[in-house]
Structure 1
Amino acid sequence: MTTRLLYLVSHPIQYQAPLLRLISGQSDIVLRVIFERDTSDGYFDPGFGRAVCWDVPLRQGYDSLTAAEADLEREIAVADVIWMHGWQGAWMRRALALAKKLNKPVLMRGENTDAAMPDGSGWRGLAKRLYLRWLFRHITVFLAVGSDNRGYYLRRGIAQDRIFPMPYAVDNDTFAQCAIQADTADLRLKLGIAPNRPVILFAGKLMPRKHPHTLLEAWRHSSWGGQAPVLLFVGDGIMAAQLHQHAGTDVIFAGFRNQAELPAFYALADIFVLASEAEPWGLAVNEAMASGTAVIVGDRVGCAADLVTPDCGAVVPAGDVQALATAMVELLPRAGDAGRAAARRIMQWDFAADIAGLRQALAWLKNTPCA
């Protein structure tokens, strides 16, 4: 028996497209996707401070349409199960109301963690808690992207048996293969990095909560035992000018790079650093690990508890310059071994696990009459 699964999401997401193609290929799941808006031809990303058009297929290989093209109530009526990514906005709230009206079970997958999205204090915090309590009564099952996300739901009264794992993953196989095939010697030549010179990498939006300034400061104050590494920033954003101003020598800014270019940068690097605060997950960490790169992350990065162990990297307090400097100095001599350990670890955190978790949730719905 097939399940007609309707997925509602804000826009086409480069990380999700390969997963949606895999789900669509399952013989017992008929997937249909509705995007609130279509950004597949490009959009302005305020985090990068520029227009972005991803160079990977976003809507190919599965059935999709946009909200403007869809009769939302009819689409929900003919589906067996509604799967939603997040609950922000009037369109998502309308979908929840329609699902309740039509007695359709709802699967919710979100990124929320207490570190990244705290309720807050005072009357605002109280109002948010009351709103979430009301909202969560409309949701049948929660799909947890990781331990912190699961804890977020548990602390808001969601029963254990209503939470299923659907880990935040990227296309591990593609990143691993592209990293192996990357011409890192040519990339070093283009960037002006000498052969065998160690490289510390940041890749992402140059914005305060991702702490690229903390990385720059930690790199400048590190006591390297051997050859000092180059610090390489890949990305763009509001802090770009400030970072350029304070960079000095041996700091390279490669600018925004598209999705297909990233594996080569991960393969080039000895260590990838994401020392963010208020980071719901940090999928760039998945990408780096799949590419065989050692990682250092902040303790307020959502993936830290699930992905980063001492054998593949380090977790440091967010904003702590000295702790980050120490971690980089200690990790660099064993970065090769740590990168191989990272690649082994991330292979268990993949799309197959996502589909398995989705199947568990769908099976629970079928076997729970009150759902």
Structure 2
Amino acid sequence: MAPDCRQNCGCYQIDCASPYPTGPNDKDGAHPVTLNLTYFLSHPIQYQSPLLRRLALEDDLSFRVVYEHDFSTRTYFDQGFQSEVRWDIPLREGYRSDLLADVSVNEVLRECDAVWFHGWQSKLFRRILKDASRRRKLTLMRGENWFGAMPDGYGVMRLARRTYHKSIFRYCSAFLTIGKKNREYYLDHGVSQARLFDMPYAVDNQTFLQRASNTMIAEVRQSLDVTPEQKMILYAGKLQRRKNPHHLLEALKTISHNAATPAVLVFAGDGEMRRELEVEAAASPWIKFVGFKNQTEMPTYYAAADVFVLPAEREPWGLAINEAMASGTAVVASDQCGAAYDLITPETGRMTEAGNMDALAGAISEILPRSKEMGTAAQAHVKLWDFEADVRGILSALEVLV
């Protein structure tokens, strides 16, 4: 990629008068490199906004985000939760952002050195990806695909999907891999190791580590009628059939039957299955539904729990696993959650076969007596799976490719 700078010092300023023609990759030059990176994203996402604020702090990166939509900055109806949602954290503060409708794509691409996309579902973003590649811009792709969540299928369907993906991947300079299974997916699709850079799927660990005080934890447990000697099992997220929250009801029957003191199962979330679950759980005093809980509320619920459970099928990642572990809570997740392969170890939790309710009950029962010890290990394990690793990953990709 040739810089615009006439002195070839790598600063990308046309009127630069630097006497140091060091070139864009020379870190010893007196004139520092500033790369212009534009991130094209569907809409402001509560998980990503803290990372974007962190990237905006990088001195050698001129960073901006272009959103296709901004509905999530207001109250909106969330299809997954089947309820109105308004996030209680700032989504567009601390970094430069624009709406696609308010900018000229041609001007954005002319000004930037590199573009970054999250997934390729948007037809418009696919066109921008191709345009950026043809202009010889660096093109970075970060997606959530892996075969457990998004299989290629068989026969003609497999051929069609792989042909489609190849038609997109050819325009990508590099891929930012979120975990082991995501990396394997790209390799299986013919992407070379040299084009893969680790950018782990992370959350704002410090927020979940610091936000819940002992007093707040005690208040939540008391509000749920969880006694000091009882164990609390937490499911947090959308109550969708694909995520199998109903499997926890069956698992709880086995767990409670074998325990001297019944465990309390808490559902924090909303969705299509809520009414069905409430009817099925009506006779049990140990099953609680607290509805949707916002970002500033969730750290206390995670920290109040002894184990967090995500028995989902076809789950691309499962960032709730990160959140629970950062809060010091052990985890049980199915083998169809992408995060399980990177974050769950014998010391931090258990991974079970999706749909196997006996295995699910057994894993929870095994963890509950050791929940404090395993929660501490979980928090230590996820500590390095953080935004700093993300920043290193994307900067490494840019440094190698420039």
- Which TM-score tier does this pair reach, normalised by the shorter chain? over 0.9
2:260 maps to which of 226, 241, 245: 226
Unpaired segments ≥5 residues, structure 2: 1-32
Displacement after TM superposition at 1:327 (Å)? 0.6
CA–CA distance in 2 between the matches of 1:173 and 1:227? 33
**Which one-letter code corresponds to 2:139 in the other structure?**
V
Aligned-partner Cα distance in 2 for 1:118–1:42: 34
1:333 maps to 2:369: yes
What SS does the corresponding residue of 2:298 show, helix, strand or coil? helix
1:182-221 → structure 2 map (5 Å cutoff): 183-221=216-254
Kindly indicate whether residue 285 of structure 2 is the aligned counterpart of residue 278 of structure 1: no
State the 1:181 CA deviation.
Answer: 5.3
| Letter matched to residue 123 of structure 1 | V
Secondary structure at 1:31 match in 2 = strand
| The one of 33, 36, 42 aligned to 2:65 | 33
Q: 1:17 aligns with which of 24, 30, 49?
A: 49
Tell me what 1:261 maps to. 297
Question: Are the structure 2 counterparts of residues 261 and 16 from structure 1 closer, same or farther at C-alpha, using a change threshold of 3 Å?
Answer: same
1:66 corresponds to 2:102: no
CA distance in 1, matches of 2:237, 2:218: 23
> Using the alignment, how far apart are the partners of 1:251 and 1:76 within structure 2?
53
| CA distance in structure 2 between the aligned counterparts of 1:14 and 1:207, rounded to whole angstroms | 20
Question: Does residue 346 of the first structure (1) align with residue 382 of the second (2)?
Answer: yes
The CA deviation at 1:31 is: 0.3
Query: Structure 1 36/182 Cα, relative in aligned 2: closer, same or farther at 3 Å?
Result: farther
Residue 42 of structure 1 and its aligned partner are, at CA, apart by 2.8
Give the letter for the 1:167 counterpart.
P
Cα distance in 1, alignment partners of residues 211 and 230 from structure 2: 21
Matches within 5 A, 1:236-251: 236-247=270-281, 248-249=283-284, 250-251=286-287
| Larger CA deviation: 267-276 vs 98-107 | 98-107
**In structure 2, how many angstroms separate the alpha carbons of the residues matched to 1:175 and 1:196?**
24
2:217 matched to 1:173? no
Deviation at 1:182, TM superposition (A): 5.5
- Residue 155 in 1 paired to residue 216 in 2? no
**Higher Rg of the two aligned structures:** 2
Matches within 5 A, 1:38-187: 38=70, 39-180=72-213, 183-187=216-220
Q: Is the 8 A contact 1:182 1:263 kept in 2?
A: no
- The answer on 1:323 being equivalent to 2:359 is yes
Name whichever of 194-203 and 256-265 sits farther off: 194-203
* Deviation per residue, 1:146-187 (Å, 9 max, x gap): 000000100000001100000000000110001345512211
Q: What amino acid sits opposite 1:280 in the alignment?
A: P
Task: Please name the residue that 2:288 is paired with.
Answer: 252
Aligned partner of 1:299 in structure 2 is 335
Which stretch shifts more, 153-162 or 176-185?
176-185
Q: Is the 8 A contact 1:182 1:264 kept in 2?
A: no
Deviations 1:191-211 (A, max 9, x none): 232333210000000001111
Q: How many angstroms apart in 1 are the aligned matches of 2:222 and 2:249?
A: 23
Residue 392 of structure 2 is matched in structure 1 by 356
CA distance in 1, matches of 2:94, 2:264: 40
Residue 369 of structure 1 aligns with which residue? none
The one-letter code sitting in structure 2 at the alignment partner of 1:144 is T
Q: TM-score, normalised by structure 1?
A: 0.96
Secondary structure class of the residue paired with 1:221: helix
Partner SS state of residue 15, structure 1 = coil
**Residue identity (%):** 48
Aligned equivalents of 1:182, 1:143: Cα separation in 2: 40
Q: CA deviation at 1:72?
A: 1.1
Measured against aligned partners, the alpha-carbon deviations of 1:90-143 in whole angstroms (never above 9, x if no partner) come to 111121121023221100001011110111223232211111111110101000
Letter in 2 for 1:169: A
Q: Tell whether the 8 Å contact from 1:182 to 1:267 is kept in structure 2 after alignment.
A: no
**Greater CA drift, 148-157 or 216-225:** 216-225
Match of 2:288, SS state, is strand
User: In structure 2, the residue corresponding to 1:193 is in which secondary structure?
Assistant: coil
> How far apart are the structure 2 equivalents of 1:116 and 1:179?
32
Native 8 Å contact 1:218 1:325 kept in 2:
yes
Aligned mates of 1:196, 1:329 — CA distance in 2: 15
One-letter amino acid of the structure 1 residue matched with residue 269 of structure 2: G
Question: What is aligned with 2:39?
Answer: 7
- What is the CA–CA distance in structure 2 between the aligned matches of 1:326 and 1:192, rounded to whole Å? 25
1:260 counterpart SS class? coil
